[in-house]
Amino acid sequence: MTYEQVKSLKSEDFKRLCGVRPDTFNEMLEVVRSLHRTKQKTGRPGKLSLEDQLLMTLEYWREYRTYFHIGQSWGVNE
């Protein structure tokens, strides 16, 4: 489930999915974006957007699934 699919969920359902409310998610995303802007860009670009990367991380912390399962869900390598 990408961020585009879950951003329209009700606040309670969004929190059930990833453990934080949408407004907290947006604040976290702003911090990640500010750090991403200052990061030196090397290598090829990531497959997932910053929103999806943050959502994937929060889901991992919430559920403690294996990297294999996360990779299969998000279509990335473990």
The token duo for 78 is 């473990």
5: nearest Cα among 47, 45, 46, 56: 56
Map residue 78 onto helix, strand or coil: coil
Highest averaged pLDDT of the listed ranges 26-30, 68-72, 74-78: 26-30
CA distance 71 to 21: 24
The tens digit of pLDDT for each residue in 24-69 reads 999 999 999 999 888 888 888 888 999 999 999 999 999 988 889 8
Residue 28: Cβ-neighbour burial (10 angstroms; 0-12, 13-18, 19+)? middle
pTM above 0.75, yes or no: yes
CA-angle at 70, arms to 59 and 58, nearest 5°: 15
